[in-house]
Structure 1
Amino acid sequence: MSHTLEAELNGLLGTMDWIPTFCTEHPELQSEGASIRQFFLALRDDEPMMMELAAKLADQIIGYCLPRKRVARTVQRYAKNLVDLIAAIATLRRDARHAFQKYREEFPARSGEAGEILAYVFVEHFLRAPMAIAKMHTKTNTTMPVFGADGVHVKYRAALDQLEVIYLESKVHKTIDSAAKDASKSIDEFRSGKQRSVELRLALDLGNFDQLDDAAQQALEDFLDPYSGAQTAKRLDTHACLLAYNEPAFEDVSGENANDMLAEAFSEGCEDRRATVSNAYKKRDLPEDKIVTFVLGLPSVAEFRKEFERALSNG
């Protein structure tokens, strides 16, 4: 059973192997405490690849927004006719696009979906945990965000016969301090409320598991059902957090040595950022060993939102 469930879940993953091209990870030894991985937007020559990153994120919206069974059904139905398949995929993209809120400069906090899809691709690529439910598909009002966790992913740990349920949180703020405090508040509220049970029920009832074989689906239900699941005691609930912020180091890099200058300047701030995030978690008494945090430095979070909106509109 363990090998079946592991293989079936891996089959739901995308590779997302383009992420390291656009987001450079700072190589640092993992210290004790919070698991924090730090990245900065990569440069081409001396230009930040903001537009390219936004375009790649916009390319993911079908898989991010729509249930896997709908996408699979479309591909199977039109697989023998390439022209019809292309048209059907265009329809899927249009439907996925309608789920996103319109970016409005006067209400930037309501335009966090660029950060949410960024968290989604980071978790799929680095944690190799497929999305359990397309929450964007459950929206009934496209002018409002989806409440609760920003996403739910699952990962089977075969060695422990344990299912890890990963609840996503993303914050895109001007400063890392503000992003970390806001994320800590959201995680704290999620852990102390009833939303966890709601998320598990959504995953059971509306999850992306229709493509799995019957044995794998039953195994997942045994883990996810908080009341009657035979394996619910072996479920591990964790969090993955994406914090994007304005990185000052971008302001002073230019010329042929821009990449080296940026890497050096970013490196100088790593310990302070790590302490900022860890302290925010400690103030809320959050279990740091159950949180994986991805920190991403951008030239401008406002421009990131605008570029993502532009990529959605032009695609």
Structure 2
Amino acid sequence: MTDTAAAPSSPPTGPLEDALASLKRDLSKLSTRLKSVDHTVTTECKALTLRLHYPAFRQRKPMMSELVDTVSTYIVNFCLPRQQVADLNEQYGKVSPEEFTTMFEVLRQEAFDLFKRAHVATNRNGEAGELILYLLTEWLLEAPQIVAKMSLKTNTEMPVHGADGVHVRYCAATGRLYIYWGEAKLYGNLDQAITEAAKSIAESLDDKKIKHEITLVKRHLDLSGLKPDAKKAMLDFLDPYGSGYANRHDVISCLVAFDFDAFAAALISETDAEEEFRKLALAKLGEAAPKIAKALKTKGIAHQEVEMFIMPVPSVATLRDLFQDKIGWKHPAAKKAPKKSAVSN
């Protein structure tokens, strides 16, 4: 008779479930600035979920500036490790209101500076897409950010590219840990945005890149705010030799923002402008859906679970400029025309 090795016992997941639940925040107030459109649009890619969002209207116009003002208030939580933010919050009531305000302002400025330095380090130009995706993932997918990637991108000794965000959700009913790898794409042209999104998604799912991302998560769990028993349960899902490893599911959360002229069409409509826009946006989604499915199939990822947030805006360039102004990002100086040389007669 041959002895068989006993299967390793899994750490209790209750602490992890409780810990992740405690990290969730009520972000429902975002619905006053970022609207959702219910729809029945599907594709042949059964694992693809399409979500349609747009900036809220006021007096027939989208509130772009107000949207940027709102999302920028979350930049501290997005950029900085959760433990660092928690350490500040613990000072509330222990120091004077003036001192706490100063401490928060210092942290906020650190987040702004970190965001700018990280984008310079990764050759990006200060787009708001990553921040909006972060909020949508925490709000609608109920998956809190577990690692602040932005805080790692400025470390010259640790090249960090890959996913724009890392979020997790534990499902007690299935015993699965869902890890959401974020990708944000902002392009003036929707077709280009779809193509680039599919390309980035495929690249991010490369085994070597996933392993690298998992290593980053494991290495920085100490800054996640999780207690030891919750971290132990989390690591069991991340360790290839852990008993929970097979129950880890990798999901892509993706934001696709693009220029959409329906905002202008809705403005001159004789009917309710926002209602007219919603109709046009739904039609655009129906037109884009098969293109998205085709792009995923072309990259060999038709069966990959993807949560795709489609967000039409009046102008991606305007969204970028508004956000850059908000965080103090200096726009490239416009090139002046060369002076004309004096010509002797």
TM value normalised by structure 1: 0.90
- In structure 2, the partner of 1:238 is 251
CA distance in 2, matches of 1:295, 1:146: 26
CA distance in 1, matches of 2:41, 2:234: 31
What SS is found at the alignment partner of 1:18? helix
Check conservation: 2:189, 2:258, Cα contact below 8 A: yes
Segment drifting more, 177-186 vs 264-273: 264-273
What SS is found at the alignment partner of 2:324? helix
Check conservation: 1:102, 1:111, Cα contact below 8 A: no
- In structure 1, the partner of 2:154 is 140
Q: Relative to structure 1, is the Cα distance of residues 4 and 67 closer, same or farther in structure 2, using a 3 angstrom cutoff?
A: same
Q: CA deviation at 1:214?
A: 2.2
Q: Relative to structure 1, is the Cα distance of residues 222 and 193 closer, same or farther in structure 2, using a 3 angstrom cutoff?
A: closer
Q: CA deviation at 1:251?
A: 1.8
1:114 aligns with 2:128: yes
**What is the letter of the counterpart of residue 100 of structure 2?**
L
Segment drifting more, 260-269 vs 81-90: 260-269
Check conservation: 2:61, 2:263, Cα contact below 8 A: no
CA distance in 1, matches of 2:118, 2:258: 18
* Aligned ranges 1:87-236 → 2 under 5 Å: 87-101=102-116, 110-111=124-125, 113-140=127-154, 147-207=161-221, 210-226=224-240, 228-236=241-249
Check conservation: 2:118, 2:153, Cα contact below 8 A: no
Q: CA deviation at 1:265?
A: 1.9
- In structure 2, the partner of 1:35 is 49
2:69 to 35, 46, 55: 55
Q: Relative to structure 1, is the Cα distance of residues 2 and 205 closer, same or farther in structure 2, using a 3 angstrom cutoff?
A: same
**How far does the alpha carbon of each residue in 1:44-63 deviate from its partner, in whole angstroms, 9 at most, with x for none?**
11121100111111111110
How many residues align? The count is 307
* Aligned ranges 1:293-312 → 2 under 5 Å: 293-312=308-327
**What is the letter of the counterpart of residue 305 of structure 1?**
R
Name structure 2 gaps, 5 residues minimum: 1-11, 330-345
1:8 aligns with 2:19: yes
CA distance in 1, matches of 2:69, 2:39: 29
Please identify runs of 4+ aligned residues in structure 1 that moved more than 6 A.
none
1:291 aligns with 2:306: yes
Check conservation: 1:103, 1:305, Cα contact below 8 A: no
What SS is found at the alignment partner of 2:162? coil
Check conservation: 2:115, 2:126, Cα contact below 8 A: no
Segment drifting more, 33-42 vs 248-257: 248-257
Q: Relative to structure 1, is the Cα distance of residues 58 and 180 closer, same or farther in structure 2, using a 3 angstrom cutoff?
A: same
Q: Relative to structure 1, is the Cα distance of residues 42 and 78 closer, same or farther in structure 2, using a 3 angstrom cutoff?
A: closer
> What is the CA RMSD across the aligned residues, in angstroms?
2.3
Check conservation: 2:42, 2:289, Cα contact below 8 A: no
CA distance in 2, matches of 1:207, 1:240: 21
Segment drifting more, 267-276 vs 196-205: 267-276
**What is the letter of the counterpart of residue 133 of structure 1?**
V
CA distance in 2, matches of 1:65, 1:49: 25
TM value normalised by structure 2: 0.83
Q: Relative to structure 1, is the Cα distance of residues 168 and 46 closer, same or farther in structure 2, using a 3 angstrom cutoff?
A: same
- Indicate the structure with greater helix content: 1
Q: CA deviation at 1:71?
A: 1.2
1:25 to 30, 33, 36: 36
Q: CA deviation at 1:78?
A: 4.9
Q: CA deviation at 1:91?
A: 0.8
Q: CA deviation at 1:253?
A: 2.0
Segment drifting more, 46-55 vs 205-214: 205-214
CA distance in 1, matches of 2:112, 2:201: 28
Q: CA deviation at 1:27?
A: 1.6
What SS is found at the alignment partner of 2:90? helix
Q: Relative to structure 1, is the Cα distance of residues 210 and 173 closer, same or farther in structure 2, using a 3 angstrom cutoff?
A: closer
What SS is found at the alignment partner of 1:101? helix
CA distance in 1, matches of 2:174, 2:266: 47
Task: Give the percent of matched residue pairs that are identical in Structure 1 and Structure 2.
Answer: 31
Q: CA deviation at 1:115?
A: 0.6
Check conservation: 2:146, 2:224, Cα contact below 8 A: no
Q: CA deviation at 1:140?
A: 2.2
Q: CA deviation at 1:64?
A: 0.4
